[in-house]
Structure 1
């Protein structure tokens, strides 16, 4: 299979530490970023951007509907940390997405939904997918942060209610300028994480979080748990207080809120 061919596309305002690899179409920006990291030694800060994806995916392999007009991008990072620490980059990315989208909204509130979605007025507008590879010592060799933002389009039927920047009257509705703003925000959050650790990232994410202190349902692989979203622990796991008085630590699951039930059979955004 032939390698994807980048196109010449500028992104004015992109921080100089990030090198752009732009494409008209890819199967998946994450797959291309992983190929560049694994096979070509792509540097930290390599940014893969495609106008559309033909095989986009979200968490747990769910399809990510990817028409032209939305944002699909993946960053190659070489953080030099353990896999447990690298998982914190989901919260770094979510905070950066919220800082990207909130200033673009004439009205409405942007919030983070555990573990890796961003909501505009309780409707999903962006998602995150982290994938990585370790070295012989078990540390992160490279990590790819994939983001998808509903800029112009959103699915009418989805597992969680969805929306787009355009639908919310966003001040920008073109993927390129939105991507520049995201990378600028990500650079700030990433630098804080590298220099100060997870504590300030956790505190910033909690200020943006949807559902803290209130009732939620957490769907696990084999059951659904109902309780109060009490907190994040020091590693970013969700702490759920059950009616029995037990506190459960949850590292993976899908969160739903009362009154916001699945509205259709579609997957992805």
Structure 2
């Protein structure tokens, strides 16, 4: 299917009924030269992706969109966009539920009342000089239904808001909110974005367990460094930076 964009604000939206993965479609568009702020939106995915290769349940009625971005920055800064996207999602969700019910769960989840309502998946590519060629931000949000996950409590926006929320009403709201946060990050850098993310941080200041591929670590979630890594205060008084892992409240 060809690229047939519909304009919304500064985004061009390519809407599909069904795809294997919106991130895969966005990558094809990136490689073919599609511009910054291209959004691939699908009604459903047949092979949706979560972090670490996990399957993302993708029935009709929820939001599946991948944002193709071309920030002029070093690739090392691109990971900061996950904080930007989480804030944009939270801002959009706050149009339907009270803002104090919304928190950010490191590294890439947004919660309502402590239950996962949305998740993010970033992919990126660089030029030979280390500059970012493109970043793809995959965003999945439970709008009208939610999966039953073993490790996480989940919810959907319509249940939390006690009203039906159409995806085609939520998507433009999210794009507007993301664009505002993204533009601020491009202009001013990570400091304000990091500060705003931490205001909504789930488990901040509390003892957590970080599940890594080969081990688990416990400590106090002290905050984030300027690259978005989690600062874990260990029982021995040392501090460790965690760049990837799954976070849970300590048992």
Q: Which bracket does the TM-score occupy, shorter chain normalised?
A: over 0.9
Measured after TM superposition, the shift of residue 57 of structure 1 is: 0.7
Rounded to whole Å, the distance in 2 between the matches of 1:72 and 1:256 is: 25
Equivalent pairs counted in the alignment come to 251
1:37 aligns with 2:30: yes
Match of 1:28 among 21, 38, 41: 21
Q: Is the CA contact 2:144–2:164 (under 8 Å) kept in the aligned structure 1?
A: no
1:130 aligns with 2:134: no
TM-score normalised per structure 2 = 0.95
Superimposed CA distance per residue, residues 101-125 of structure 1 (whole angstroms, 9 cap, x where no aligned partner): 1221168601000111000111100
The equivalent residue for 1:267 is none
The equivalent residue for 2:174 is 182
The equivalent residue for 2:156 is 164
- List 4+ stretches of structure 1 deviating above 4 A: 5-8
The equivalent residue for 2:197 is 205
**Relative contact order (alpha carbons < 8 A, sep ≥ 6): 1 or 2 greater?**
1
1:62 aligns with 2:54: yes
Measured after TM superposition, the shift of residue 243 of structure 1 is: 1.1
SS in 2 for 1:190: helix
SS in 2 for 1:95: helix
Alignment root-mean-square deviation, CA: 1.7
Rounded to whole Å, the distance in 1 between the matches of 2:163 and 2:80 is: 30
Q: Is the CA contact 1:33–1:74 (under 8 Å) kept in the aligned structure 2?
A: yes
Q: In the TM superposition, what are the counterparts of 1:247-262 in structure 2 within 5 Å?
A: 247-258=239-250
Q: Is the CA contact 1:106–1:170 (under 8 Å) kept in the aligned structure 2?
A: no
Match of 1:71 among 60, 63, 66: 63
1:143 aligns with 2:138: no
Residues 162/222 of structure 1: CA separation in 2 closer, same or farther (3 Å cut): same
TM-score normalised per structure 1 = 0.89
Measured after TM superposition, the shift of residue 188 of structure 1 is: 0.7
